[in-house]
Amino acid sequence: MLRFFPQKSKYIQEEGEFEFQKELPIPKHIAIIMDGNGRWAQNRRLPRVAGHKEGMETVKKITKHASHLGVKVLTLYAFSTENWKRPTEEVDFLMQLPVDFFDAFVPELIKENVRVNVMGYKEFLPTHTQDAVARAIEQTKNNTGMILNFALNYGSRAEIVSAVKDVYQEVADNSGDVELIDEEMIAKHLMTGFLPVELRDPELLIRTSGEERISNFLLWQIAYSELFFTDALWPDFNELLLETSIASFQNRDRRFGGLKHKEEKK
């Protein structure tokens, strides 16, 4: 843990409006935009890469806790297609991070029965990053518990464009009837298409660091996701905050555009 300098602005956990209850429904699929690593480091007068390293420690804690709570899929936004615009030194560090992370964490993931998946345009990643990703997927492929799904070199608009091209090809190869195109066909060709239908769309999307935007993440899949925003920077996000976000979810009124049964009778 990096604790060399006092943090100028430290997040203090506020008392949640709702109390987490294990007996209430747990989101089957949680997606997280892990934001604030750089600011966490700057608050401690450390280089930005120190925040990314600390953020990986948070990934380990949250992965294990989510698995223990019964979450089926945890999708983490690790590196976007826009992140290549960052300074070369930072990008190089981020490309090495999966290598170090998987080498250290895969044995624990195997013990926890967690399966790794990585979605995104992996072919554009450096060779050593691709190799680390492939090893982690191979080593955990027989695990039957929670799926830890990293979005790496991922962008939702690009994903949708790729899906449209695949849908076009599928229709062209068959009857050419555009009436074959429906939501299920499109969803099948998105990068979450490898998941069972009931798990493809996150029920809960969390974003850390106080920002309240989606940042080109799972635009199709979060059509009916519950959104939870916290001021905590990602390295400060912990198990209690995960439970707080789930408690908020547990108290949402999820109608999917319809009405609850009581309201229908009015």
Q: Which residues are marked as active site? A: 35, 83
Task: Report the alpha-carbon distance of residue 110 to residue 42 in Å, rounded.
Answer: 34
Q: Quick count: other Cβ atoms within 10 Å of Cβ 227?
A: 16
* Distance (Å, whole) CA 250 – CA 265: 24
Q: Is beta strand 115-119 parallel, antiparallel or unpaired with respect to 147-154?
A: parallel
40 annotated binding-site participant: yes
86 labelled binding-site residue: yes
Report whether 82 belongs to an annotated binding site.
Answer: yes
Asked whether residue 32 is marked as a ligand-binding residue, the answer is no
- Name beta bridge partners: 73: 29, 147
Annotated binding residue at 252? Answer: no
52 appears as a binding residue in the annotation: yes
35 assigned ligand-binding residue? yes
How many Å apart are CA 36 and CA 137, to the nearest integer?
Answer: 27
Contact residues for 86 (Cβ-Cβ < 8 A; gap 6+): 94
Residue 89: how many CA atoms within 13 Å on its side-chain side? 4
Check whether 39 is labelled as a binding-site residue. Answer: yes
- 174 annotated among ligand-binding-site residues: no
84 labelled ligand-binding: yes
154 in Cβ contact with 76 (< 8 Å): no
220 is in an annotated binding site: no
Q: Using CA atoms, how far apart are residues 7 and 174, in angstroms rounded to an integer?
A: 60
Q: Is 138 annotated as a binding residue?
A: no
Annotated binding-site residue numbers for Mg(2+): 35, 226
Annotated binding-site residue numbers for substrate: 36-40, 48, 52, 80-82, 84, 86, 207, 213-215
